Structure 1
Amino acid sequence: MTQLITGIPRSGTTLCCKLLNQRDEVIALHEPINPAAIAKGADANVAFDYIRKQIVVFQHAIENGLPFEHGDKGGLEIENPVGQQTQDGIRQVVARRGQVVLPKRAHGSYQLVVKQNALFTALLGPLSAEFAVTAVVRNPVDVLLSWLTVDLPVNRGRIPAGERFAPKLAAELAAEPSRIRRQWRIYQWFMQQFHQHGVKVLRYEDILVSDGAALDQALGLPSISRQPLTPQHRQFAPEVLDELGSIKAELLAADYYGLYSAEDIAQRLKQYGL
């Protein structure tokens, strides 16, 4: 049965795909569904049906060695869709959507995992009723600092694929003039969706400390030996830290549904001098 991965953008979901693709029996696809391909004006039911049909398309292509659309035309090895090159202090996206072709795989010889963040999160109700879904989260301090410094819609405090099927969220973001508060609302929306629909939630921090074993366990796979995973330490401009610091009180007071404590948040803030 196909499994789905969703998660908060910049929480390590693409890394999860890379770790899963280190297994012979798993094929994990990074953002293979283009939300723009879903008919304009389609409701959540139409979008859900489109996703189901696309999963069948992916399986057929994999089993027959045919091309199919993928979030990075370079193949399955992508670890991070955002590179190190910056423009005006903003890290640029390196992933390029396109078609890939994989060696033929016999039906039943592999476990298909499909990763999609905002689209799957907006449609968690019907998706979680039919598929096993695992959601990946990360400490909001690290997520928001990343959002403030990457060339993605969340940098501007918008999440188009989510807003399209979450009109309340779209209205709230449209009414909020502050970028960091739009970003904070987006983070909360993801967490609330995961909690409301009762999906399995996996912390990025646990994936790192276990060298990927926590991911294997979450998907019901036996652990394998991997190279140690080490967190990257990034430096942020004072104005970026100041923008995050403006919502420090909200970060410390929020409900993270038992996934992060106020102390967890305070420790990360302190590491950045906040």
Structure 2
Amino acid sequence: MIENITLITGIPRSGTTLCCNLLNQRDDAVALHEPINPSRLAGGVSAGRAGMEIESIILQLREDIAAGRPFENGDKAGLSIDNPVGLSTKDGKRQVVAQRGLVSIPPRENQHFRLIVKQNALFTSLLTQLEVRFPIVAIVRNPVDVLLSWMTVDLPVNRGRVPAGERFSDFLRNTLLRTDSVFQRQLIIYTWFMQQFIEHELSIVRYEDVVASAGTVLDEALGFQALNRSPLNYQNRQFAPALLDELQSNLTEITKLSRFGLYSEAEIARAMTSAIGAGE
């Protein structure tokens, strides 16, 4: 294992960017929000080659940060972003506000910080290649809240696609191509992420526990001493009745996701009740 580097992956819209924000409140960590642009990886390469290329990119990121050189990040505004999607909408979909670009921070000596790199679909599709070199932590969230978010954001997952994951997972890509229903594709995507995390025996952290503990469970999962932070609050959002009706009509299938053992049937039902209540 490469020392002082940890990877974070997670289900899209499960709070992984918030986790980076929380970790960046530490003096002994630098957490990056999707610094690797999947489209810039060499085209047509094998998963093994992609894993090696990602390792090289991450090591270069650590060197650049240590030396105080500019480095690429998923948001050029800096390291404090906690949600890449804003509140403004277009055609009923919340718009992405994060803009990829170069970031500069004061130099850090290698031995004085842990580098945490977060990418969701890309890292998940390459777990076999990456887990032999890096410790990896996965962030998950109640499927009701995830699916509602996917239905309302201007991201590929809104259409039931995850390009960065499909690029190195033939199974995921082919399964999605055979499925016409957007909602069914979204269920497939959620299931794929959970299966990958469990099959690879990753350390899994629930978003709800991150919020309830103000990040303490995240610190512990990464082997840090807990940091005393201000309390975190859930952001309750209202959703269009049509979306809630669609989710309610498919609640039986959503409830089956309790089989992964991370959210019980009761927790899934409570999330649905809460979403309906917020919309009334």
Give TM-score, length-normalised by structure 2. Answer: 0.96
Which residue of structure 2 aligns with residue 180 of structure 1? 183
The offset of 1:267, in angstroms, is 1.1
Give matches, 1:8-47, under 5 Å. Answer: 8-47=11-50
Letter in 2 for 1:178: S
Aligned match of 2:118 in 111, 115, 118?
Answer: 115
Q: Equivalents in 2 of 1:165, 1:211: separation in Å?
A: 34
- Match status 1:5 vs 2:11: no
CA contact (8 A) 1:181 1:247 kept: no
1:49-107 C-alpha deviation (Å, 9 max, x unpaired): 11100011101111111111110001101110000101121100000000111111112
Where structure 1 has 5 or more consecutive residues not aligned to the other structure, the ranges are none
Q: Which of 65, 70, 81 lines up with 1:67 in the alignment?
A: 70
Per the alignment, in what secondary structure is the counterpart of residue 260 of structure 1?
Answer: coil
Q: Distance in 1 between matches of 2:31 and 2:79?
A: 7
Contact 1:136 1:202 in 2 (8 A): yes
Matched residue SS, 2:48: helix
Alignment of 1:56 onto 2:50 = no
Aligned mates of 1:176, 1:246 — CA distance in 2: 19
Q: Structure 1 residue 173: deviation in Å?
A: 0.7
List per-residue Cα deviations over 1:131-174 (Å, max 9, x = no partner): 11000000000000000000110000000000011111111111
Residue 252 (structure 2) aligns with: 249
Matches within 5 A, 1:67-86: 67-86=70-89
In the TM superposition, residue 255 of structure 1 has moved relative to its aligned partner by 4.1
The answer for the alignment partner of 2:172 in structure 1 is 169
- Runs of at least 5 residues in structure 2 that lack an aligned partner in the other structure: none
Please show how residues 70-219 of structure 1 align to structure 2 within 5 Å: 70-219=73-222
1:246 to partner: Cα distance? 3.2
RMSD over aligned Cα atoms: 1.1
| Secondary structure in 1 matching 2:149 | helix
Identity of aligned residues (%): 54
Q: Which residue in 2 is equivalent to 1:263? A: 266
- C-alpha contact 1:72 1:97 (8 A) present in aligned 2: yes
- Stretches (4+) displaced over 6 A: none
Taking the TM superposition and a 5 Å limit, the aligned residue runs for 1:210-249 are: 210-249=213-252
Residues 114-146 of structure 1 show CA distances to partners (whole Å, capped at 9, x for unaligned) of 000000000111211221100000000000000
Residue 30 of structure 1 aligns to which amino acid in structure 2?
H
> What is the Cα deviation at residue 206 of structure 1?
0.4
> 1:170 & 1:159 partners in 2: Cα distance?
9
Evaluate the alpha carbon distance shift between residue 173 and residue 246 of structure 1 in structure 2; reply closer, same or farther with a 3 A threshold.
Answer: farther
**Aligned equivalents of 1:77 and 1:175: distance in 2?**
39
Report the residue type matching 1:171 in the other structure: N
Mapped partners of 1:152, 1:244: distance in 2: 19
Q: Look up the SS of the partner of 1:19 in the other structure.
A: helix
What is the SS of the residue equivalent to 2:112?
Answer: coil
Task: Report SS of the residue matched to 1:33.
Answer: coil
Q: Find the aligned partners of 2:41 and 2:259 in 1 and give their Cα distance.
A: 32
AA aligned to 2:115 is: L
Contact 1:31 1:70 survives alignment (8 Å) = yes
The 3-state SS of whatever aligns with 1:202 is: strand
TM-score (norm 1): 0.98
1:39 offset after TM fit, Å? 1.1
